[in-house]
Structure formats: structure tokens, C-alpha cells
Amino acid sequence: MNYLKRARLYLTHKKGQSLLMLLIMSAILVFVLSGIIIQNAAIMATNNVTKSAGSTITVSANRNKMFSQMRSSSAKTKTLKTPTVANTKIAKAGKLSTVAYYNITNTASVNASSFDAISTSTGTSSMGGGMGGPGGGTNASSGDISLSGVSSAAHTTTFTSGEAKLVSGRNITASDANTKNVVIEKELASDNSIKVGDTITVKTTATNATKIKLKVVGIYKAKSSSTTMPGSDPSNTIYTSYTLPASISGTAGKSSSVTYTLEDSSKEKATTKQIKNIIDSSSFSVSSNNESYQQLLQPMKNVQSFAKKIVWLVAIAGTIILGLIIILSVRNRQREIGVLVSLGESKLHIVGQLFTEMFMILVGAMVVALLLGSFVGNKVGNQLLSQQQTTSVSSTAASGAPGGGGAPSGNMPAGGMHGGSMMNSQTTTSAANKKALKTLNTSITPSSVIKLGGMGLVIIALAVCLSAVSILRLRPKDILIGE
């Protein structure tokens, strides 16, 4: 009788044993498939978010170089001079294929003329805006209004983080370059009865102050009233195009800081090198900041690593368990095997029969695994991800607790010789990306089925090989005597 037919008849005759083997192999394959689809889902989510996360690269003043130049100056009054880079270089770097968009930052300090600035005071000081905020440029004196020049206000950290929200009109965009359009804070507008479309006047802080008329195109609302500088209020920040502060500080056509947002975060190192070559100035530092993004990805990477371990552990344990079961089964079938070998049946055919039996059970177990694997993988994967996120949040909170580290919360505009640039260099991971990393979307793909089938074949092949040793090394007489 053909060994394939014998395998089929054996399985139908030994229904209970066959069902038990089916359940054991199904359990093994369900966990193997769960591990495979969890790993695939984690890899896919990580790759997708890596490409669209929007890591940032910031070009800002080299602070050490600035202090070094100030101390080596022979001038009586030594002041820090913020370096600038030509906007043409910034635009050239912005055309790199890996850059999604960029935001130029320039700031200037002016005094309110046709309206009153919001005045604040503390218990120890009543400076009335004297320090003037970020104050870029080279002027030592500061006004009560901070002009925050940007390419796109909507892409600044203040707006992307939700600290500021546009409530009327429109925001500053790249099309506002070389105009005097501004967006002012709601409280400043209310106190001075300013509406969208009105014109306001400010004057420069130079000795021969010049008045500048600004057109209000939008009004935003700042959520927080706190600020790191006494005497300065967020309401005194006016957003405008980056060209206006540059013209006020006498650096038209140049800028002091720019932040590039990448399309693909995996190209961060290569893009940083390209931007350095384009800027080509030791007065600027080019740095990338994807720390928060990496922290966000860490739980998903942990799940990916854990799923990989699940696959290997279950495969190894499954091979051992099936091998032991088949060895016991072979011992119980010694008489049957001895008779067949005595009748001239090849030992390889006997092994082939065992393999065929296991293969038939494997096919049934795969059907069960495909029915249950997605459900189990989804539940287990999301539970693992939830635990990893909880651990990650706890670790982050613990590491950030002492001293409160990090940049101060910022209602202050980007800009200045250092602070604004650092604020803008924070990675702006979108809400969509955060949501994508909080849920593991598992699904069974053709590649998952192929991997499962391949691992199933390897498992039963190894298990049959383990049990076949006792058949191949004995003669028919020894088999029957042993029985």
C-alpha cells in the first residue's frame, strides 16, 4: 500500500490521537502566527511613522563662537552679535528632496506707537517690558513689542503645540514676505480695540526711531500668560514675515535661524550633512532633534523585538514538544513499523508516512491558526504596546523629574540669538503619527501565511527527523524484539 494512503487511513482510524495532534499544532501555529503578524505590524507602523514623522534640523547661531568673538573684540562696549546667513542659501537647502518644508525665523524688538503694549510686573520688578523678549539682531536696547518673523506661523512650535490658536483672520504665510502684514494676540487687540484689517504703528528702538505701519491680517489667542522673562507678556508678541524684522535690524536678505522639517526621518543624518555643506559657516551650528520622536517609537520597537522572540521561542518549544510526541507515538507503533519493514517496506517510506501524517495535520492546524491568529495577535500586540507605553511614560517622567529639564514652556516667540531656535528644533510629531503609534493594526498578509507555512514545515520536519532516528538505526528483527 502506498505510504501516502497509509498516512490518510492512519489519521482517520486514530481520530482521537489525530484531533489531539491537531489541537497541539494549532496552538503552536496560532502563537507563531501571532508573533509574525505583531512583528510585521510593528515594523510597518515604525517605518510609516519614520517616513512621515517630520524630524527637524535647525540652523542656529553658534553660541560658543558668538561669545568667543565678543570677548576678542576691542570695542569698549562688548555685545553679542548674532550671525546671519543669506536667504538664498536657506532656500537652496530647502530644495533638498528630503526636506518637506522650512521655517525661517527672525526677530526684532520695537515699541508700540499707535497702541499700548500689555504691561506686566512682578513682586520684585516692574520693568514694563523692558527686557523685551527674545530680541534678535544686534541692538542692545529693547522695546515693549517683540516682532516674531517667520515663514509660516502655523509651522512654529507655539502653534503646532496648541499654545497659540488663530481666532480671526489668517495666519502669516510665505506669501507675506516683503509685506508688513502682522498677526497680533487677542488680548492686545481687545485692549486697543484693534480688528482684522486695521493698521497699527510701531517705532524702532534706535536713537532715531522710525515709525512703521503694520496691517493686521489675523488675531491669535495665546493659552498661557506665563513667560520666562519678568515684565514680558505673550500678548506683546506680534507675528509677521521674517523679512520685516530683518529689514528693521539692517540684515535684509539674511536670516539668523531656520528649521527644516524632513519628509523622511531616516534621512536625517545625510540631510544634516548636506545642509551643513550648503550653509558652510562656522558661525552656525546645524543640529537635528528627534529625541521625542525616538521616545515615541521606542514602545513600538520593544513590541517588535518581543514579537520576534515570541516567534523563535514558540518555534523551538513547538519543535521539541512535537518531536517528543512523535517519538512516543513511534514507540507505540513499533509493531506496526516492524511488520511493515519486515514485509519489505522502505524505512524512508515509513519516515515519509510519519511526515505525511504531520503534514496533513499541519494543513488543518494552519486553517485554525488563520482563523484565530489575527484576533489573538491583535489582542496580545495591543496589550504589549500598552504596557510598553506605560513603561516608557514612567521612565520619561522619572528621568525628567529633577530640575525639570528641557526648554521652558514657550509662549515666547521663536528667534533671538538662541532660545527661539531651540524651541523650534523640538520635533513636531503630528497627532496622526502619535495615534498611529498608539494602536497596533495587525492583519494577515500573504507573506505572513508563507512564513507560517515555512515555519510549520520546518517544525514538523525537525520533529519527524528526531523521531526517525529510532527507526532508521534498527533492523526489522530488533524492532519486533523491542516491541
pLDDT of the chain, 483 residues: tens digit per residue: 578 888 888 888 888 888 988 898 888 888 888 888 888 887 777 777 666 666 788 888 887 887 887 777 777 777 777 888 889 999 998 898 888 888 998 888 899 999 988 877 654 444 444 433 333 444 445 788 899 999 998 888 888 878 889 999 999 998 999 999 999 999 999 999 999 999 999 998 887 888 999 999 999 998 876 554 545 688 889 999 999 998 988 888 888 889 888 877 778 888 888 998 998 888 888 887 666 566 667 777 777 787 788 778 887 887 788 778 877 777 777 777 777 877 787 888 888 888 899 899 989 988 998 888 778 877 777 777 777 666 655 555 555 444 333 333 333 333 333 334 434 444 444 555 555 566 777 778 888 889 888 888 888 888 888 777 776 676 666 666 655
pLDDT of residue 238: 93
pLDDT of residue 213: 93
pLDDT of residue 225: 61
pLDDT of residue 433: 58
> How far apart, in whole angstroms, are the C-alpha atoms of residue 100 and residue 67?
33
Q: Which residues of 230-258 are buried (b: 16+ CB within 10 A; e: fewer)?
A: bbbbbbbbbbbbbbbbbbbbebeebbbbb
pLDDT of residue 212: 92
Give residue 75's identity as a one-letter amino acid code. A
pLDDT of residue 423: 41
pTM beyond 0.75: no
Print the SS3 string covering the chain: CCHHHHHHHHHHHCHHHHHHHHHHHHHHHHHHHHHHHHHHHHHHHHHHHHHHCCCEEEEEECHHHHHHHHHHCCCCCCCCCCCCEEHHHHHHHHCCCCEEEEEEEEEEEEEECCCCCCCCCCCCCCCCCCCCCCCCCCCCCCCCEEEEEECCHHHCHHHHCCCEEEEEECCCCHHHCCCCEEEEEHHHHHHCCCCCCCEEEEEECCCCCCEEEEEEEEEEEECCCCCCCCCCCHHHEEEEECHHHHHHCCCCCEECEEEEEECCHHHHHHHHHHHHHHHCCCCEEEEEECHHHHHHHHHHHHHHHHHHHHHHHHHHHHHHHHHHHHHHHHHHCHHHHHHHHHCCCCHHHHHHHHHHHHHHHHHHHHHHHHHHHHHHHHHHHHHHHHHHHHHHHHHHHHHHCHHHCCCCCCCCCCCCCCHHHHHHCCCCCCHHHHHHHHCCCCCCCHHHHHHHHHHHHHHHHHHHHHHHHHHHCCCHHHHHHHC
pLDDT of residue 231: 52
> How far apart, in whole angstroms, are the C-alpha atoms of residue 272 and residue 420?
20
Torsion 123-124-128-133 (CA) sign: negative
pLDDT of residue 335: 75
pLDDT of residue 1: 59
User: Grid coordinates standing for 13?
Assistant: 482510524
pLDDT of residue 220: 93
